[in-house]
Amino acid sequence: MTQTTPAAARATQQLWNKDFLLASFAFLVVMIGTTLPTSLYPLYRHQFSLSEMMITVIYGVYAGGTIAALIVAGSWSDQLGRRVIMFTALAFSAVSGFIFLLDLNLASLLLGRVLSGISAGLATGTATVMVIELAPDNRRGIATLIATAVNMGGLGLGPLLSGILAQYAPWPMHLVFIVHLVLIVIAVGGLLKTHETVVTAKQPRLHIQRLSVPREVLNVFIPASIAGFAGFAVLGLFSAVTPAFLGSILGLTNLALIGFVVFIVFAASTLGQLALEVVPLKLALPVGCLVLAAGALLVGTAINVESLKLLILGAVLSGLGQGLAFRAGLASVAAACPADRRAEVTSTFFIVLYIAISIPVIGVGVAANALGLRLAGTGFAIAAAVLSVIALLILQFRKQPRL
C-alpha cells in the first residue's frame, strides 16, 4: 500500500502551492514533447519520401512505446517515488529531442518516436497522481481535472508550437526541439524543488502491471471502453493524418494551420471534460457518444466536400464528445471498481485507449495507400461514429446493477 509523505499530508488551504504548479509544468512539458512532430510530418514526408502508411506507422510506434511503459512501469512510482519516474520521463523526452536534432533517417525517426512514447507512458499515470497529491487539501477535486487538462493541453500545444515555429521561424525542422529541450531543463530544475509525495521502498519489488477487469465491472467497463476507443481513435487520426488531409485534399500546406487544427481537437477535449461539472454523470457518457458520433461524421463530410470550416467544426464536436465521454467513462469505471483493483482496471482502460490511438490509425494509412486518402478517411470517420453509437446502444440496453 502506498504511504504518503509528511510533505503530501501538509497540503495547506491556500489557493495553490509551488510544488503543485512545478509538477504540473513538468507534466505539461513531457506531453508537449510527444506531439511536436505532428506539424512537421509534411517536411519529413518530403525529405524521406514517406507514404501515408509510413507516417501512420511512425505515429503508431509512439503509441507502442506508451503502452509498453504503462504496462511495465505503471506502478513503479509507488515504490521508487513519483519524482524518480518523472525525472526518467523527462530524460526519455530529452533523448528523443536530441535524436530529432541530428541528421535524421527513417530509423532514427522511429526511435525518437518510441522514446517519446515511453516518456508519455511513464508520465501519464505518475504525473496525474503526483499533481493530485501535491494539490492543497481544499483543491483535490479540481486538481484531478487540472491534471487531465494538462495532459490534453500539452498534447494540443505540441503541434501548435511546432507548426508556428516551423512556418515562421528559422530552422523549421530543429528549432522547436531546441525550445523544448530548454523547457525540459526548466522543468527538471522545478521538479528538483518539489517534495516527494510517497514513502519510497527500501527494497523495491518491481513488477509488470497486471491488466484485468472484474466480472462485476464489465457492465460499466465495456461501453466506457468502446466510447473511449472511438474517441481516442479520432484524436489519433487528427494527430497522425491531419497534415495529409489538409495538404492532399484541401490543398492547405501552412504548417501553423496544421498545428492549429490539431490543437482545436485537444482543446475541445479539455472543454468536454470540464462539461462534466455541469452535465450529470448518468447523462454524460451517452451525450458524449452522440456528440462524438456527430463530430466524426462531420469530419468525414469535410473530407468529401473539401471544407476547412466543416473540418474545424468536426474537430470541435469530436473533441467535446471525446472529452466528455472519456472523463465520464473513467469516472464510472473507477466508481464501479473495488478499491483494491482500481489501479489495474484503470491501467487496463488506458491500454484500450492507447491501442485506439495506434492500430486504427495505422489501418487508415494502409487503406489510404490502397484506396486513397479520401475514401480511407471517410471510412474511418464512419467507423468511429458507428462505434460511438454502439456504445450508446449498450448503455441504453445494459442490465442495470441492483441497488
Alpha-carbon radius of gyration of the chain: 20
pLDDT mean over 217-237: 90
Which residues fall within 8 angstroms of residue 282, CB to CB, at 6 or more apart? none
Residue range 291-346, pLDDT digits in tens: 999 999 999 999 889 899 999 999 999 999 999 999 888 888 878 888 667 767 87
C-alpha cell at 6: 509528511
Mean pLDDT of all residues belonging to the chain: 88
Q: With 80 as the cut, is the pLDDT of residue 197 above it?
A: yes
Looking at residue 340, its pLDDT comes to: 66
Looking at residue 116, its pLDDT comes to: 97
| Percentage of the chain exceeding pLDDT 70 | 93
d(CA 333, CA 135): 23
Centroid of chain to Cα 294? 21
Kindly state the DSSP code that residue 193 receives in the 8-state scheme.
T
d(CA 309, CA 363): 26
Under the banding of pLDDT at 50, 70 and 90, the label for residue 62 is very high
Among 166-170, 197-201, 227-231, 329-333, top mean pLDDT goes to 166-170
Under the banding of pLDDT at 50, 70 and 90, the label for residue 399 is low
Under the banding of pLDDT at 50, 70 and 90, the label for residue 398 is low
Q: With 80 as the cut, is the pLDDT of residue 115 above it?
A: yes
Looking at residue 142, its pLDDT comes to: 80
Predicted structure pTM score = 0.89
Residue whose grid cell is 519524482: 83
Among 110-114, 362-366, 375-379, top mean pLDDT goes to 110-114
Note the helical H segments in 49-139.
52-73, 77-80, 82-101, 106-134
Looking at residue 339, its pLDDT comes to: 67
Residues listed for the chain: 403
Q: Are 290 and 388 in contact (CB under 8 A)?
A: yes
d(CA 300, CA 385): 10
pLDDT mean over 60-79: 89
Residue whose grid cell is 491500454: 351
Looking at residue 60, its pLDDT comes to: 85
pLDDT mean over 27-43: 95
Exposed e or buried b for every residue in 280-294, given b needs 16+ CB within 10 A?
A: eeeebbbbbbbbbbb
Better-predicted residue by pLDDT, 257 or 1 = 257
d(CA 150, CA 73): 21
d(CA 211, CA 126): 17
Quickly list DSSP for 149-163: HHHHHHHHHHHHHHH
Domains of the chain in start order, with CATH, are: 1-200 (1.20.1250.20), 210-403 (1.20.1250.20)
C-alpha cell at 159: 503541434
Under the banding of pLDDT at 50, 70 and 90, the label for residue 287 is very high
Under the banding of pLDDT at 50, 70 and 90, the label for residue 188 is very high
Residue whose grid cell is 473507477: 334
Q: Residue 392 in 3-state DSSP?
A: helix
Residue range 121-144, pLDDT digits in tens: 999 888 988 998 888 877 766 887
